[in-house]
Chains A and B, each alone.
Chain A
């Protein structure tokens, strides 16, 4: 029937993939889960970062992961700018629910089409020295292109966890997410706190983009495949729970990986959608609490 070796390996690949999924979803967990800015363009920012890393790598030859990390301050600034426009145009007018969503949809389209016009539909990829390597432990074979993103994902998520539970700004962000008005009455400015948080969420997209292009070839519409995934993870993880994001990412990674081994990779994409709908119907508050 199902060979043990295949099962073990696809389970391991799923867990590794899950760590990376946690990284791509953590930014949305901050923006959507904590500060209630429904950035449906989050995966698009990841693809944008992937392409910028690709261009810089062609010129300089620097490792894509290092490039992704060094770009993150620029993406932080980009996030602050985008949030500024969003806040002025929608949050102050109280129209963020409908119009804000369309605003991010417009950004998503503009980035996708710009990438399409600049790079075409061809797949772009970077071959790092470790792309084809893997570690073997008995019957278990783990490709390094999955191991590195897994480790990086865990580190970033843990750093963010410490940031949001130990630092003043992090705790203030969680306060904003609980009671915006109370924070205002305490003399703090929710808009400033939210702009820092949103900047951070976009900064994680840059790191994820660098890792993504080291893992797999990218094309301008790849973000579409991640939208279902990131929202499934954020909702499953309990909307803004940082550690829940890791658990949900790994659950999704394992289910997808097993589906891919059993039925073929094309169906793996339908898994995230199925999980998303199932969670929304059965347990909209998610599996983990903040």
Chain B
């Protein structure tokens, strides 16, 4: 049964990818790709956050730091060195993975709170360093110039949408593979009781490091295409608070520790945010997310997936 489900997943992913790659060639509504890119970016960030936060229970409050660092490195490589987009993507993923490993190595042996504090302070420190480094634009920022879109695409934004779709799918497949494997079971075991897991022979520290590195890698991948999306890099918006808050709120609202939870949470929260931005104004977005976050953590700590599971259990 389980192998059959997995066998189904791969074709589904391929079909989604192919359809996603064809749609921009047929449907020419720029707003669709403009908003779609952000939704896919948040799906990736939420999924990446969940790999460490949901399975292993280590909370990262500084997603913006991982995201922004990769975005800046990618922008620097694309603009000043002139590398191609795939190289910039890999470099962005690699630097954020290294950041995850570095912070993980220094704090994951201790209680989870220290990792959380380190990430919380980290985002602002990286932002400060960027602001004070004129070589990467300092506080003023710099423009990035989109190259001509690779054929058959006629608009670079459409191409970027397809790239982000690929990244989002890759993160979801990775997350699902982790969940169903020994690694995922080990992470969940150490989240529930670290001492017990260690006694049973789970390589606790190694698994945590692996999760921190993978989580950072996908956060970096989500950030690396951003310079070409926004076309203007400046530290306030690239290290925006929204990113850190959404990355925590989306998996929590969807359902922690499940591969589908971040997907549901990101889709719902991003849709709400788009609607609020259009109807009321973007300032209220963070208030709504803050209220949702506190409400869910108090009343429904296992998110929407948890609520649905409970309903099914009651019915049967």
Residues from chain B with a CB closer than 8 A to the CB of A221 are 241
Are the C-beta atoms of A269 and B124 separated by less than 8 Å?
Answer: yes
Residues from chain A with a CB closer than 8 A to the CB of B125 are 228, 269-270, 273
Q: Besides the contacts A89-B298, A276-B118, what 7 more A-B pairs have beta carbons closer than 8 Å?
A: A40-B116, A105-B59, A105-B61, A105-B293, A110-B290, A112-B241, A269-B128
Interface residue count on the A side (C-beta < 8 Å): 41
Q: With A98-B57, A107-B294, A280-B107 in contact, is A227–B120 under 8 Å at CB?
A: yes
A109 in the interface (beta carbon within 8 A)? yes
- Proximity string of chain A (228-249) to chain B, C-beta cutoff 8 Å, 1 when within and 0 when not: 1001000100000000000000
B129 in the interface (beta carbon within 8 A)? yes
Bound complex: CA A157 to CA B57 (Å) = 35
Are the C-beta atoms of A110 and B301 separated by less than 8 Å?
Answer: no
Q: Nearest Cβ distance between residue A227 and chain B, in whole angstroms?
A: 5
Bound complex: CA A116 to CA B294 (Å) = 19
A103 in the interface (beta carbon within 8 A)? yes
A185 in the interface (beta carbon within 8 A)? no
Residues from chain B with a CB closer than 8 A to the CB of A272 are 121
- Proximity string of chain B (252-285) to chain A, C-beta cutoff 8 Å, 1 when within and 0 when not: 1000000000000000000000000000000110
B114 in the interface (beta carbon within 8 A)? yes
A59 in the interface (beta carbon within 8 A)? no
Q: Nearest Cβ distance between residue A33 and chain B, in whole angstroms?
A: 12
Q: Nearest Cβ distance between residue B235 and chain A, in whole angstroms?
A: 12
**Residue ID in chain B nearest A85 by CB atoms:** B298
A151 in the interface (beta carbon within 8 A)? no
Bound complex: CA A182 to CA B301 (Å) = 30
A113 in the interface (beta carbon within 8 A)? yes
Q: With A102-B297, A103-B294, A105-B248 in contact, is A117–B283 under 8 Å at CB?
A: yes
Are the C-beta atoms of B57 and A110 separated by less than 8 Å?
Answer: no
Most buried by A among B116, B118, B284, B291: B116
Are the C-beta atoms of B287 and A38 separated by less than 8 Å?
Answer: no
For this complex, 24 residue pairs linking A to B, each with C-beta atoms less than 8 Å apart, are: A38-B113, A85-B298, A89-B297, A95-B301, A97-B113, A98-B59, A98-B112, A98-B191, A101-B112, A102-B59, A102-B248, A102-B252, A105-B248, A106-B293, A114-B287, A224-B120, A224-B124, A228-B125, A231-B117, A266-B132, A269-B125, A270-B125, A276-B121, A277-B106
Interface size class of B (residues with CB under 8 A): 35 or more
Interface residues of A (CB under 8 A from B): 32, 38, 40, 85, 89, 95, 97-99, 101-103, 105-107, 109-110, 112-114, 116-117, 221, 224-225, 227-228, 231, 235, 264, 266-267, 269-270, 272-273, 276-277, 280-281, 284
B13 in the interface (beta carbon within 8 A)? no
- Proximity string of chain B (169-201) to chain A, C-beta cutoff 8 Å, 1 when within and 0 when not: 000000000000000000000010000000000
- Proximity string of chain B (105-138) to chain A, C-beta cutoff 8 Å, 1 when within and 0 when not: 0110011111011101110110011011000000
For window 94-113 of B, CB contacts with A under 8 Å fall at: 106-107, 110-113
List 6 A-B pairs, minimum CB-CB distance, nearest first. Answer: A228-B121, A106-B294, A110-B290, A109-B290, A106-B293, A113-B286
